[in-house]
Structure 1
Amino acid sequence: MRTSPTPTVDVRRADERFTTAISWLDSKHSFSFGGHHDPANTHHGLLLVNNDDVVRPGAGFDTHPHRDMEIVTWVLQGSLVHQDSEGHNGVIYPGLAQRMSAGTGILHSEKNDSWRLQGGTAHDEPVHFVQMWVVPDESGIAPGYEQLEIDGELLAGGLVPVASGMAKHDGAAAIRIKNRYAALHAARLQPGRSVQLPEAPFLHLFVPRGAVTLEGAGQLATGDAVRLTATGGQKVTATEPAEILVWEMHATIAA
């Protein structure tokens, strides 16, 4: 649904997130997820899930179903092995953009198989990744999968389109998502380097590692996020080596 929201800048600190901590998983949820539910914190714009996950070696998410969701996975450290019921499989690693369209229904698993990827020698290498879900334009589409290496573009230090359904990113975004009002951008920033946020009715800025300052809002540390409405154009500047993920959204989920 297109809308004209009131301008706001809502800073959410890392320790305010829901947490799931079990033997093989440390997961931080920016929005209601699984057994964690807050009716006042279900989404921002079109973004329903922003899970910050660390999975220990040899473990992961067993085969499970999804439906009618665009799922983007971004790895920060280690390797994540993907397999699904449509026959897609691959290893997701830092600098590789990956999207799965659940559509009419798909089964998939995600595992930290780092011990196997290095000749079967056991070692302690967790995989750290952020998984983000946005709603598609329409339900009942065919399931799909896409991944592409964009590490070279990230080395330039600017804000790089990672996944988009917006016409303005035709030919530029690494991977396509089935929502014409949403785009994910990423940047790797060295201290002192800045990028400028796009202008949109809804923005979600997440700092999965490092530290930055946001113009008008101050310091943001690892795990912090900002939900912006009816704004944009602010500078994000690294105060230490950092990586940021920015969702640009020109619509929201109907209440």
Structure 2
Amino acid sequence: MILERPAAARGEVSAGWLHSRHTFSFGQYYDPRWMGFGPLRVINEDIVAAGGGFPPHRHANMEILSIVLSGALAHRDNAGGEGVLHPGEVQWMSAGHGIEHSEFNASKDAPVHFLQIWIQPDRLNAQPAYAQRAFDPAARAGRWATLVQPDTAGDAGGALAIRQDAWLRAVRLSEGQAVDVVLD
């Protein structure tokens, strides 16, 4: 099933240092028609001002993916996960039975623009986990590249393996270029 959700129809929240667009109900934005899609619960597009960010907060039983579009996003969690995410990289944090983390714009003079995707895991109360991987933009030029796949799918072939039967693929298209979407 394909659902259309125009960008302008998404929920919007601005809090000085944060401008956020929500595909599904999230935080202060609530729309009972848009509560998620299967295990997919969040697709947020965030722009965080220079020096801004989210102080330590807790998550449990959620697979959280972050994809930076521009700028740099710093991450630190209480399970030892730490890194700075740049464009072309994907970060996976499995909250498992519970994890506390913070996310901040790594720049003092430029905003960071990123997507955050939350997916309910296929098993509850697992050990928290964190990974970050760089993906060569040339690998997505005109063709689909798998960024995330289920941990039960076998060899990840460079993709991040998450705890859900979910795949995240990306393609970079030139103007006028098209690719087919083949559903498995």
**TM range, normalised to the smaller chain?**
over 0.9
Instruction: Flag the 1:54–1:31 CA change in 2: closer, same or farther, 3 A.
Output: same
Partner of residue 41, structure 2: 48
1:174 to 2:159 alignment = yes
Amino acid at match of 1:190: S
Partner of residue 197, structure 1: 181
TM-aligned CA deviation for residue 191 of structure 1: 0.9
TM-aligned CA deviation for residue 157 of structure 1: 2.9
* Cα distance in 1 between the residues matched to 2:123 and 2:138: 31
Q: 2:149, 2:156 within 8 Å by CA — same for their partners in 1?
A: no
Instruction: Flag the 1:81–1:12 CA change in 2: closer, same or farther, 3 A.
Output: same
TM-aligned CA deviation for residue 40 of structure 1: 2.2
* Cα distance in 1 between the residues matched to 2:123 and 2:102: 24
| Larger CA deviation: 62-71 vs 30-39 | 30-39
Partner of residue 52, structure 2: 59
Residues 175-233 of structure 1: per-residue CA shift (max 9 Å, x gap): 11011x21111122111222222315xxxxxxxxxxxxxxxxxxxxxxxxxxxxxxxxx
* Cα distance in 2 between the residues matched to 1:30 and 1:20: 12
Partner of residue 15, structure 1: 8
Amino acid at match of 2:127: A
User: Cα RMSD over matched residues?
Assistant: 1.6
1:32 to 2:16 alignment = no
* Cα distance in 1 between the residues matched to 2:40 and 2:158: 18
* Cα distance in 1 between the residues matched to 2:177 and 2:158: 22
1:163 to 2:148 alignment = yes
| Larger CA deviation: 72-81 vs 150-159 | 150-159
TM-aligned CA deviation for residue 171 of structure 1: 3.0
Runs ≥4 in structure 1, deviation > 6 angstroms?
none
TM-aligned CA deviation for residue 46 of structure 1: 1.9
Identity of aligned residues (%): 40
* Cα distance in 2 between the residues matched to 1:68 and 1:161: 23
Unaligned 5+ segments in structure 1 are 1-7, 116-122, 201-255
TM-aligned CA deviation for residue 167 of structure 1: 4.8
Higher share in strand: 1
1:139 to 2:124 alignment = yes
Q: 1:18, 1:32 within 8 Å by CA — same for their partners in 2?
A: yes
Partner of residue 127, structure 1: 112
Q: 2:17, 2:49 within 8 Å by CA — same for their partners in 1?
A: yes
* Cα distance in 2 between the residues matched to 1:52 and 1:169: 30
* Cα distance in 2 between the residues matched to 1:137 and 1:80: 27
Amino acid at match of 2:171: A
**1:107-122 counterparts in 2 under 5 A?**
107-115=100-108
* Cα distance in 1 between the residues matched to 2:5 and 2:89: 27
* Cα distance in 1 between the residues matched to 2:47 and 2:126: 31
The DSSP-based 3-state class of the residue aligned with 1:53 is: strand
TM-aligned CA deviation for residue 80 of structure 1: 0.2
Q: Which structure is higher in RCO with an 8 Å CA cutoff and minimum separation 6? A: 1
Residues 42-63 of structure 1: per-residue CA shift (max 9 Å, x gap): 1112210000000000001111
Number of residue-to-residue matches in the alignment: 184
Partner of residue 219, structure 1: none
Instruction: Flag the 1:143–1:129 CA change in 2: closer, same or farther, 3 A.
Output: same
* Cα distance in 2 between the residues matched to 1:59 and 1:135: 27
The DSSP-based 3-state class of the residue aligned with 2:126 is: coil
Partner of residue 88, structure 2: 95
Partner of residue 188, structure 1: 172
